[in-house]
Amino acid sequence: MNITISLFLIAILVVLTLSVLLVNKFVKIDLIDIRYPEIDGLRGYLAFFVFLHHSYIWQVFLRTENWDDPKSNLFNQFGETTVVFFFIITAFLFTTKLFNNKSGEINWSEYLKARFFRLFPMYFFSICIVFILVAYLTQFTLRVPFLENLKSILSWLFFNISKKNSNINGLEDTFILNAGITWTLPYEWTFYFLLPLIALWFKIKVNLKAVLGFTAAAAIIMILNKSSLRHFMPFVGGICVAILANSKKFKNILKQKKYALLAICLLTILVYFFNSGRKPIPIIISSVVFLIIASGNNFFGILSSVFSRKLGQITYSLYLLHGILLFLIFYFLIGFERAKTLTDAEFWSIITLSVLPLILVSQLTFKYIEAPLMALSKTKKQQKVVIN
């Protein structure tokens, strides 16, 4: 990584800070009391790192027309290790809720309803933008048979579980319109559907129909998506972290500041020695780092700060929309031909300037799409425990 990009990374972080503070003055959202504010704060940074990861990929793509993983360890870890952390977080939070289940029963229909309202509305909004872009780029003309288009559209509607049908209306590499971020969502859904099976291990009563139905749904997603088992390793890490973090001894010890320094050292080792975050050793390192955070270590107050949690609230919107924003900038505002000739300084200046609109749009979609529909999923009276 050259010095120009290094300097722009600093500038980008400064602009990020100013953008979050400015946007929250005009689009106000109250923070909700939660059990793990450190994790809430962490997620915002993770989503922003994915944005940086795809920005780097876009620079290479514009010059070579190849959509490849970054050769830079840091920028590749911004994508791969970040996704590993997201999977660890999912497994940790839901496994912890199984630990804390006192009634011995879970309302699985309400659980599924809560997951649907949490993930689908914002996702649907984002892919509607993709559909509109595809229509424009293909001159609003039907280029492939109707049934082929229908398969592609359904594939996207169901979180792009079929890579074979990912191109819409014959548009090659449609995934570039949103940077291909949808590939992680089938793995999230697979874990959600496997939760009744995991609940049995925690001696929670689960209706046999729920176990069979949910497990069958997980299997179908895995088959259609041709899921790689290695992507489930972080979920195993998250389950292990939940088991360890449930011990008060770990929580009391790992909250100490010296363990935040240890985590930083481990992340430095991860970036310096590994280009991929998806291999066993990097996943173990990420799990250990997350164990420190899950035990209440807020990294000198950074992760639990109001700023970090404000950024954390818009994680999902930021994750879903950043790829679309990058496409709009380089295709419509600048143009691919002009973008190919951009110097490092020019390219990263554009990325720096794009941070404010990205934060603004993400804040707006969280406030007016995500938050209202999450609230809608919560029933006033629930006879059984619901996992949200």
Q: Report how far residue 85's alpha carbon sits from residue 20's, in angstroms, rounded to the nearest whole number.
A: 22
- Per the structure block, which two tokens stand in for 301? 């107050």
Q: What does the pLDDT read at residue 292?
A: 96
Q: Is the pLDDT of residue 385 over 50?
A: no
Which band of pLDDT confidence, cut at 50, 70 and 90, is reported for residue 162? low
Compare 138 and 4 and report the one with higher pLDDT: 138
Q: Report how far residue 49's alpha carbon sits from residue 158's, in angstroms, rounded to the nearest whole number.
A: 25
Task: Please tell me the number of Cα atoms within 13 Å of 217 on its side-chain side.
Answer: 19
Q: Is the pLDDT of residue 101 over 50?
A: yes
Q: What does the pLDDT read at residue 314?
A: 97
What's the mean pLDDT in 99-111?
82
Q: Report how far residue 317's alpha carbon sits from residue 130's, in angstroms, rounded to the nearest whole number.
A: 15
What's the mean pLDDT in 49-65?
97
Q: Report how far residue 307's alpha carbon sits from residue 26's, in angstroms, rounded to the nearest whole number.
A: 15
Q: DSSP readout, 169-197?
A: TT-TTGGGGGTTGGGGHHHHHHHHHHHHH
What's the mean pLDDT in 50-55?
98
Q: Report how far residue 285's alpha carbon sits from residue 152's, in angstroms, rounded to the nearest whole number.
A: 38
Taking phi first (over 0 means left), then psi (-120 to 50 degrees means alpha), and beta for anything else, what does residue 160 get? left
Q: Reduced to 3 states, what is the DSSP secondary structure of residue 274? A: coil
Q: What does the pLDDT read at residue 103?
A: 67
How many other C-beta atoms are found inside a 10 Å radius of the C-beta of residue 47?
A: 24
Taking phi first (over 0 means left), then psi (-120 to 50 degrees means alpha), and beta for anything else, what does residue 104 get? left
Q: Which of 14-23, 247-256, 273-282 has the lowest mean pLDDT?
A: 247-256
- Rounded to whole angstroms, the maximal C-alpha distance in the chain is 63
What's the mean pLDDT in 309-315?
96
Q: Reduced to 3 states, what is the DSSP secondary structure of residue 376? A: helix
Distance spanning both ends of the chain, measured CA to CA: 41
Report the amino acid identity of residue 273.
Answer: F
What's the mean pLDDT in 231-242?
96
What's the mean pLDDT in 237-245?
94
Q: What does the pLDDT read at residue 380?
A: 42
Q: Which residues fall within 8 angstroms of residue 178, CB to CB, at 6 or more apart?
A: 126, 127, 130, 320, 323, 324, 327
Taking phi first (over 0 means left), then psi (-120 to 50 degrees means alpha), and beta for anything else, what does residue 103 get? alpha
Q: Is the pLDDT of residue 384 over 50?
A: no
Q: Shortest CA distance to 351 belongs to which of 1, 23, 44, 59?
A: 59
- Cα 168 to chain centroid distance, Å, stands at 23
Q: Is the pLDDT of residue 246 over 90?
A: no
What's the mean pLDDT in 64-82?
95
What's the mean pLDDT in 310-337?
97
Q: Which of 49-63, 220-234, 319-333 has the lowest mean pLDDT?
A: 220-234
Q: Report how far residue 376's alpha carbon sits from residue 385's, in angstroms, rounded to the nearest whole number.
A: 17
Which band of pLDDT confidence, cut at 50, 70 and 90, is reported for residue 102? low
Q: Which of 19-23, 123-127, 258-262, 373-377 has the lowest mean pLDDT?
A: 373-377
Span 166-199, pLDDT tens digits: 899 999 999 999 999 999 999 999 999 999 999 9
Q: Report how far residue 51's alpha carbon sits from residue 355's, in angstroms, rounded to the nearest whole number.
A: 9
Break the chain into its structural domains and give their ranges. 3-72+103-230+293-376
Q: Is the pLDDT of residue 381 over 60?
A: no
